[in-house]
């Protein structure tokens, strides 16, 4: 097999990116060709019907083709690659085009609703734009200097990072434990799965008010370690928030782990039992390596959820109780 050097590989990558960008326009041109040619065919048919009884023959209109490719001899090296791999009638080119066409709706939506607003927001962060000022001026990194010199923001950001790390650990540990429990063979396991998933259906605001009542009324009335309430003390409010979010979100992440655990080959598990492996050894050497991808997915989902958490915090503690910064700040 012929080796391809780095420059050729880079050229192929750049040409492929170009082809992926151009393909939607080629598809659009083909749709336009198809529509125009249907109209042209109808006109030519009408003319041929009229010519049957007339001595004057009208010339037929030729089919339309918006995009035309050069002959093979006239193509450059790049043109040959694009035609053979992307635009031509070969099996490889057809497969590549089908891949792009199926990807186009979701990828187009991502570009339109995520990527473009992100780039626009990044640009606005480098200007003095406000809702009132419609003609912003470029000010560079001044906004970032201002926000990172504000100790309130730095403290809030630090607390958010701390909360996110602890929340990721808590949710994934609880979710994985529940998943291990409900994949066992016992009666009503489907009912338990549904019950563990149900809290995820509760909205963030409603969830916060429910747990505010539980912490401030129900549990505090028991006294002991529950008095004073967890969410009224600046040292324990973070723990209370993690308990609430874990209770809500662990059932959702549990479903991801259940799907992964059910795909673990049972013949490996049975073979390990015959070899004398205990439950911990089977978990460490068979189960965890085979479901590693589900851990990655779950980690990213819990990470994004943790950083976007707002409604539950507002309804649970109104952003407090750390409305006053610690004395050391």
How far lies 271's CA from each of 243, 280, 316, in Å? 39, 15, 49
Given this model, what pLDDT does residue 106 score? Answer: 86
Confirm whether 123 is domain-assigned: no
Range of weakest confidence among 110-114, 189-193, 317-321: 317-321
Q: Which domain holds residue 289?
A: 150-317
Mean pLDDT of the chain: 80
Task: Check whether 130 has a pLDDT greater than 70.
Answer: yes
- In the DSSP assignment, the letter for residue 35 is H
Task: Check whether 168 has a pLDDT greater than 90.
Answer: yes
58 and 156 within one domain: no
Quickly tell me which residue has 């089977």 as its tokens: 282
Q: What is the mean pLDDT of residues 91-96?
A: 82
Query: Which two tokens mark 259?
Result: 């799907």
Confirm whether 282 is domain-assigned: yes
Confirm whether 95 is domain-assigned: no
pLDDT, tens only, 240-256: 888 999 999 999 999 99
How far, in Å, CA of 258 to CA of 310, rounded? Answer: 28
163 and 304 within one domain: yes
Given this model, what pLDDT does residue 65 score? Answer: 46
pLDDT, tens only, 209-223: 888 888 888 887 777
CATH of the domain at 213: 1.10.3720.10
User: Radius of gyration (Cα) for the chain, nearest Å?
Assistant: 31
Task: Check whether 43 has a pLDDT greater than 80.
Answer: no
Task: Check whether 22 has a pLDDT greater than 90.
Answer: no
225 and 298 within one domain: yes
Q: Total structural domains in the chain?
A: 2
298 and 154 within one domain: yes
Given this model, what pLDDT does residue 156 score? Answer: 82
Q: Quick count: other Cβ atoms within 10 Å of Cβ 71?
A: 6
158 and 79 within one domain: no
Nearest to 201 by CA among 273, 147, 255: 255
Residues in the chain, total: 329
Confirm whether 118 is domain-assigned: no
Coil, strand, or helix at residue 127?
Answer: strand
255 and 157 within one domain: yes
How far, in Å, CA of 156 to CA of 304, rounded? Answer: 17
201 and 52 within one domain: no
292 and 190 within one domain: yes
């Amino acid at each position: 097999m012929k080796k391809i050097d780095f420059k050729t590989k880079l050229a192929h990558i750049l040409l492929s990116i170009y082809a992926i960008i151009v393909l939607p326009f080629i598809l659009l041109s083909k749709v336009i060709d198809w529509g125009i040619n249907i109209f042209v065919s109808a006109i030519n048919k009408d003319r041929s019907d009229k010519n049957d009884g007339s001595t004057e023959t009208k010339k037929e209109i030729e089919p339309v083709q918006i995009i035309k490719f050069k002959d093979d001899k006239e193509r450059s090296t790049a043109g040959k690659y694009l035609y053979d791999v992307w635009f031509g009638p070969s099996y490889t080119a057809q497969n590549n085009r089908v891949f792009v066409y199926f990807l186009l709706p979701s990828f187009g939506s991502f570009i339109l609703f995520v990527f473009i607003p992100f780039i626009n927001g990044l640009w606005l962060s480098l200007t003095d734009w406000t809702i009132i000022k419609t003609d912003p001026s470029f000010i560079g990194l001044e906004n970032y200097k201002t926000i990172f010199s504000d100790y309130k923001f730095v403290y809030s950001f630090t607390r958010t990072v701390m909360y996110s790390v602890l929340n990721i650990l808590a949710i994934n540990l609880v979710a994985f434990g529940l998943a291990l429990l409900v994949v066992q063979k016992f009666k009503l396991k489907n009912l338990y799965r549904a019950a563990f998933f149900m809290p995820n259906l509760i909205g963030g605001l409603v969830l916060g008010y429910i747990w505010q009542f539980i912490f401030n009324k129900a549990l505090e009335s028991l006294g002991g370690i529950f008095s004073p309430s967890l969410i009224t003390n600046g040292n324990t409010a973070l723990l209370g928030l993690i308990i609430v979010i874990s209770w809500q979100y662990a059932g959702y992440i549990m479903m991801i782990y259940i799907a992964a655990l059910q795909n673990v080959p049972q013949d490996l598990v049975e073979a390990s039992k015959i070899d004398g492996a205990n439950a911990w050894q089977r978990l460490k050497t068979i189960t965890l390596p085979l479901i590693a991808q589900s851990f990655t997915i779950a980690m990213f989902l819990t990470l994004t959820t943790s950083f976007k958490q707002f409604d539950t915090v507002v309804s649970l503690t109104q952003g407090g109780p750390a409305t006053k910064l610690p004395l050391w700040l």
